[in-house]
Amino acid sequence: MTANKRIVLSSDHAAIELRQTIANHIAALGWEAVDIGPTTPESTHYPKHGAAAAQRVASGDCQLGIILCGTGQGIMMAANKVKGIRCGVCTDTFSARMIRQHNDANMLSIGVRVVGEGVALDIVDAFLNAQFEGDRHALRVDMITEMED
Ligand code: RB5
């Protein structure tokens, strides 16, 4: 993982406002928020936004990614099609911490129609404050990576 303190953010039309709130939140925490939109509320298609954010992480341009849609599920599925991406949907802080500690997740997905703003920001904090534990978990993450080839 490239430790450049840059986090890419994207969403579909459903989650623009929460995405921008999260971008401001992480910027206040000292991260560089790379918000790649969209910025206008027309209906759009979550796969292209998930893939675009995932490419920024996979290329090393951004250290981590945060993506959102109505449920968080569709955009997560798209992001996980990009080689090198491990993205989980979180609706609670325990999962947000564990996907970093055990799964070395490099992207977080949130559903704007599932959690409110306060919970979403706590999820983001839990994700960003956790560290991958390596050891036996590294072996398992490597097993996931091997499936990509
Ligand atoms: C858009 O209405 C909705 O389908 C999308 O935001 C997301 O929930 C898909 O997984």
Pocket of ligand 1 (CB under 6 A): 12, 14, 46, 69-71, 73-74
pLDDT in tens, 96-148: 999 999 999 999 999 999 999 999 999 999 999 999 999 999 999 999 999 99
Which residues are marked as active site? 69, 102
Ligand 1 atom nearest residue 12's Cα: 6
Ligand 1 atom nearest residue 111's Cα: 8
Dihedrals phi, psi of 87, to nearest 5 degrees: -120, 135
Question: Which protein residue's CA is at the shortest distance from atom 10 of ligand 1?
Answer: 74
pTM of the model: 0.97
C-alpha span between 31 and 16 (Å, rounded): 19
Question: Which protein residue's CA is at the shortest distance from atom 9 of ligand 1?
Answer: 74
pLDDT in tens, 40-98: 999 999 999 999 999 999 999 999 999 999 999 999 999 999 999 999 999 999 999 99
Decide if pLDDT at 2 tops 90. Answer: no
SS3 label, residue 96: helix
Q: What CATH class does 3-147 carry?
A: alpha beta
CA distances from 15 to 5, 72, 140 (A): 23, 9, 32
